[in-house]
Amino acid sequence: MSIEFAIIILPILVAALVPIFHRYLSKNVIGWVVLFIPLCLFIILTTYIPRISNGETFSNTYEWIPSLNINITTYIDGLSLIFSLLITGIGTLVVFYSIFYLSKKESLHHFYCYLLLFMGAMLGVVFSDNLMVLYAFWELTSVSSFLLIAFWHHRKGSRAGARKSMIITVSGGIAMLAGFLMLYAMSGTMSIRELISNVQLISEHSLFIPALLLILLGAFTKSAQFPFYIWLPDAMEAPTPVSAYLHSATMVKAGIYLVARFTPLFGGEMTWFWVITGVGLFTLFWGSFNAVRQTDLKALLAFSTVSQLGLIMSLLGIGSVAFYFGYADESLIYTQATFAALFHLINHSTFKGALFMMVGIVDHEVGTRDIRRLGGLMSFMPVTFTIALIGSFSMAGLPPFNGFLSKEMFFTAALSISTLDIFSLDSLGVLIPVVAWIASVFTFIYCLIIVLRTFTGKVKPDIKERDLHEAPFGMLISPLILVGLVILIFFFPNILGRYILKPAMTSVYPNFSADEMTPNIVAWHGFIPELWMTIGVIIFGIVLYKTLKYWKRVYNLIPQRLTLNSIYEGFFAKSEDISGNLTNRYMNGNLTNYFVYIYAFFVLIVAGYFISSDAFVWNPLSGSKVDHYELILVFVVMFASVALLFAKKRVTTVLINGVIGYSVAFFFVTFRAPDLALTQLVVESVTTALFLICFKFLPEIKPETSTKVWKISKSAISILVGATVTIVGLAVVNYDKFPTIATYFEDAYELAGGKNIVNTILGDFRAFDTMLEVVVLFIAGLGVYALIKLKANKGGTDVEKSE
């Protein structure tokens, strides 16, 4: 097993073991044991940095389903290394933080199981080169994030947030799968690297643009782009460690990774540029605009995350223009937009992770996240205030913090792209720097709200009664490390640029010079337009913050019923009502009605096919001889079937049903199938005996009281079902619409070594199906065992109590 594959499997394997062995570990120890996993993976991944920075890549393939071109291929290059370092590095700090944050009364083994499962899924996404394997891990991130968001499942909001995130992200994932299948149809390969190398062959295909749009749909839903961002604020119901991990450094970055990975394939296409840039810029503005109105600190950070993701996405869109110019010198300035996107990706993970942990500390120590109830915490929590100050001002793009460097690059990219005369940018391009600047103003405002409204001013009466104090040192270590990185990156950015960002740029632009694409990062460029834009952001931001109470009424101009969240809730509420009414119409508890629906549908589909096609040919015997004893058996079965309808007692019904079963067994004898005849006789004897034992104690059959119309309807359906089955039986004799598979099974002895073709089909050709049937029985057994062992809570479940 390669190291790359082991990196993916290890967290998933430990996630499977945690629920088994947690009983042998104290709740004070389980977090420390789990901490060892991401820490080791992070250390291992750091050893790749020198080699990958020198241009090496690492790839290993394990055959999985080679007949379908689906193999587990791990591929580590500069781009996947950035994301894997964030996944394991931030994951280590989050696990350490959670040890002190979560109560020992929590179900910690479930929490760490879900967290490790998510970590392994994310590593699988960024390391997979095969489209189908990437999709499998992609959906596994949705499932594991659902479990993490709903960790406090006794809260109605947690369940609703988890459900919303699951619906939106999985729906986008299905769209992405359709795009992947289109790429496979165009190219015949599942390998992302092979797709990129054959871009010239598939770019002219009619499915190229549909595949592009479907893949972007998957990326946008996962990365909370407009209009799919509505799941992210609701996901804040998760514990703070989950928010710090999923919603700042990992899950929401999966869509960013997907866009960056497929930029070499779709870059240069006008649709790719406009969709990504347009959606990213609007998300940047909309997220920052709505963040200002929030009164919950976590909700504010959620909308700020939406905004920052839009910024990164728009930079990737601008960077794709480089492929339009090919390898000309003028393309280099646009590759630096992608450099800024990757740079801000890292910066955002540092300051946003620290801010989420800061909010968790405030909530943990003060008991509320409501900005209206907070204030004056600086004197009681000076370290937490320092974390908030550094993280917020880095997000606002102020020096001496890393966010300033990548934000200036963002302004540079916005200004440079506005001067182009391609893709209609000569007329619309001016909007890009304008929207970027306005969004930055709102970003500055909500950063001031985080710092000033929470930590300055007077202590509010709501919290004055509490014993306010700084958080335990263990809870402060992780955010302090992150804000330390915020400052270090500002002063030593080129170390990051040379060893981390440079090889990632080679992954996005494989045919460009890495040295020319990697700029020398400096904080001071002189009095350039970007600096004046930053100064304008600060001035206007302060003015708007001071006058917030006068213009905040603008948020009331949008009717609540027209918000995306209300539309979503209304749609699903209406869907539930419709489906509930429809279900209640046919799920009325009457078994007879259920059979009527099933058989009516059967007749409609099967008989409808035979009527609409020329599949039925009336030549049932094909010259075959019918013996007199076969005709006797036919009439016996027919007579017994009709007699069943007029039976007045249950015992009589069972006996007549047995006559039919034994007659069928005799048919098997006449057709020289003794094994089937023996099986039929045994099963019929056992079932008849069991029915007789059970039905003897049941009341007599009540006479039917149905209306005449209903009786006629059921009789008609019965006759139609019988006619349909008869037609199918007669038609298969001469059916030639599809080639028969019987010839394949005629070679049973050579293929499987069995002389009895029936046994061979059941034991060898259907071995996989039989194995799955055994798995189903095993799962059912586990369910029965769980029900037996389940102890009812006398006071009601937590869910019932919360509602």
3-class SS at 61? strand
As a 3-state breakdown, the chain gives helix, strand, coil percent values, each rounded to 5, of: 75, 0, 25
Give pLDDT, residue 266: 93
Query: In sequence order, what DSSP letters do the residues of 211-260 get, joined into one string?
Result: HHHHHHHHHHHHTT-TTGGGHHHHGGGS-HHHHHHHTTTSHHHHHHHHHH
Give pLDDT, residue 643: 86
* Range 98-127 average pLDDT: 93
Greatest mean pLDDT among 115-124, 152-161, 576-585 lies in: 115-124
**Residues 6 or more apart from 542 whose CB is under 8 A from it?**
444, 448
The Cα-based distances of 104 to 31, 100, 151, 472, 493 in angstroms read 10, 9, 14, 15, 40
Asked if 310 contacts 277 with a C-beta cutoff of 8 angstroms, the reply is no
As a whole number, the mean pLDDT across the chain is: 87
Residue pLDDT, tens place only, 495-530:
999 999 999 999 999 888 888 888 889 988 888 999
From the number of C-beta atoms within 10 Å of its C-beta (0-12, 13-18, 19+), residue 530 rates as buried
Check whether the bond before 241 is cis (ω within 30° of 0).
no
Of 465 and 533, the structure prediction assigns the larger pLDDT to 533
Give the CB-side neighbour count of residue 355, counting CA atoms within 13 A.
32
Residue pLDDT, tens place only, 313-340:
999 999 998 887 765 556 677 888 999 9
Q: Where are the domains of the chain?
A: 1-190+237-244, 323-546, 591-740, 741-803
Is the model's pLDDT at 245 over the cut of 60? yes
- What band does 705 get if pLDDT is binned at 50, 70 and 90? low
- What band does 560 get if pLDDT is binned at 50, 70 and 90? confident
Angle, in degrees to the nearest 10, between helices 270-291 and 208-222 = 20
Query: In sequence order, what DSSP letters do the residues of 4-19 get, joined into one string?
Result: HHHHHHHHHHHHHHHH
Q: Which of 124, 34, 42 lies closest to 85 in space, CA to CA? A: 42
Question: Which of 245-249, 267-271, 354-358 is least confident?
Answer: 245-249
Distance from C-alpha of 361 to C-alpha of 374, rounded to nearest angstrom: 13
Greatest mean pLDDT among 21-35, 136-150, 409-423 lies in: 136-150
* Range 379-391 average pLDDT: 94
- What band does 347 get if pLDDT is binned at 50, 70 and 90? very high
Distance from C-alpha of 764 to C-alpha of 216, rounded to nearest angstrom: 43
Give pLDDT, residue 439: 95
From the number of C-beta atoms within 10 Å of its C-beta (0-12, 13-18, 19+), residue 353 rates as buried
Is the model's pLDDT at 232 over the cut of 70? yes
Asked if 447 contacts 392 with a C-beta cutoff of 8 angstroms, the reply is yes
Topology (CATH) of 591-740:
Four Helix Bundle (Hemerythrin (Met), subunit A) (1.20.120)
For 437-440, the CB contacts below 8 A with 24+ separation are: 437/411, 437/533, 437/536, 437/537, 438/285, 439/281, 439/284, 439/285, 439/288, 439/289, 439/307, 439/310, 439/311, 440/288, 440/397, 440/407, 440/533, 440/534, 440/537
Could you tell me if residue 589 is left (phi over 0), alpha (psi between -120 and 50 degrees) or otherwise beta? left
Is the model's pLDDT at 111 over the cut of 90? yes
Residue pLDDT, tens place only, 476-499:
999 999 999 999 999 999 999 999
Is the model's pLDDT at 802 over the cut of 50? no
Distance from C-alpha of 662 to C-alpha of 683, rounded to nearest angstrom: 10
Is the model's pLDDT at 429 over the cut of 80? no
Give pLDDT, residue 803: 38
Q: Which amino acid is at 607?
A: A
Residue pLDDT, tens place only, 71-83:
889 999 999 999 9
- What count of other Cβ atoms lies within 10 Å of the Cβ of residue 557? 6
For the whole prediction, is pTM greater than 0.75?
yes
Give pLDDT, residue 797: 41
Distance from C-alpha of 361 to C-alpha of 429, rounded to nearest angstrom: 43
In the chain, DSSP finds a helix count (H) and a strand count (E) of 40, 2
Give pLDDT, residue 134: 95
Distance from C-alpha of 315 to C-alpha of 256, rounded to nearest angstrom: 10
Greatest mean pLDDT among 90-99, 410-419, 653-662, 671-680 lies in: 90-99
Is the model's pLDDT at 745 over the cut of 80? no
Give pLDDT, residue 799: 38
- What band does 715 get if pLDDT is binned at 50, 70 and 90? confident
Could you tell me if residue 296 is left (phi over 0), alpha (psi between -120 and 50 degrees) or otherwise beta? beta
